[in-house]
Amino acid sequence: MAKDGRVRIEKFNGTDFAWWKMQIEALLGECDLDMVLEEKPDGMDKAAEAIWDSKDKKARGKITLALTRSVAFNIMKETTARGMLTALSNMYEKPSAGNRVFLMRELFMMRMNEGSPVADHINEVNSILSRLSSVGMKFDDDTQAVILLSSLPDSWSGFVTTVTETAGTGNLKFDRIRDSVLGEDIRRRNASGGSTSGLLDLESGNGPRCISGSGGLCKPVETEVVAVTVTTGLELGGASTVLSGY
């Protein structure tokens, strides 16, 4: 949402139509304009027709402003909001061979760079899978999990081996693998000393262990022993890492 309180969406540039369509439909609904995406009823009186035409004009304006110039030129001849979205769906949503080839190429080339944000990469994987689904190419849960694991960088090879050997053939679940990847990312960042908002910062050494306080100060902990359990999201033989004594 912009500072002026208006809801804004990213302009559609020809990619990820399913995501843009969901946003524009939500925006039109928020503005009470989504009715014009349906067929215009027959036999409307003049007052009702005037209201419909006014809403349709506003909806056309919002759709146009949510498109890049190159995309908007393709629907210049459309005179209704419904016609505009239908034309866009025909161009970008239907499972044409070109769309499928482009998306599959993007899927095959997708690979997370070393050190890049894991959450961003997972969002990218979800985006590509969603776009493939919109053109009729759906993958089962196990295959989606394999796609995510195979897109991780080489430094994650040990994690991938452990997860796949534990789960076994055909037992991978995308949601569990996603959660495990996110958990492993947190564990790695903590182990390397990276700070994460809302997490305890453990200080190694022979002195008293502590947690970070305000202003970056370290506050010694002198209370009872606390155990912090770090899990990866998968029950890997029931194993977990326990840090205690700080």
Answer yes or no: is 222 within a domain.
Answer: no
Q: Is 161 inside a domain boundary? A: yes
pLDDT at 6: 66
* 149: in domain: yes
Contacts from 207-212 at CB under 8 Å and sequence distance 24+? 209/245, 209/246, 210/246, 211/246
DSSP symbols for 38-103: SPPPTT--HHHHHHHHHHHHHHHHHHHHTB-HHHHGGGTT--SHHHHHHHHHHHHTS--HHHHHHH
* Residue 157 token pair: 């090879």
Find the domain containing 114 and state its range: 97-192
Same domain, 115 and 188: yes
- The pTM for the full model equals 0.51
Of 53, 56, 66, the residue nearest 10 (C-alpha) = 66
Confidence of residue 27 (pLDDT cuts 50, 70, 90): very high
Q: Are residues 101 and 182 in the same domain?
A: yes
**108-148 pLDDT tens trace:** 999 999 999 999 999 999 988 888 887 788 899 999 999 99
Higher pLDDT, 63 or 127: 63
Pairing of strands 241-243, 228-230: antiparallel
Same domain, 89 and 29: yes
Whether residue 186 contacts residue 241, with contact meaning beta carbons closer than 8 Å, is answered with: no
In 3D space, the residue among 215, 186, 181, 219 whose CA is nearest the CA of residue 203 turns out to be 219
Query: Are the beta carbons of 118 and 156 closer than 8 angstroms?
Result: no
pLDDT at 89 over 60: yes
- Contact between 116 and 91 under an 8 Å Cβ cutoff? The reply is no
Q: Which tens digits make up the pLDDT trace of 185-224?
A: 999 999 887 544 333 333 334 444 444 444 444 444 443 4
Same domain, 65 and 121: no
Pick the closest to residue 66 from 101, 35, 22, 106 (CA basis).
22
* Token representation of residue 114: 């070393």
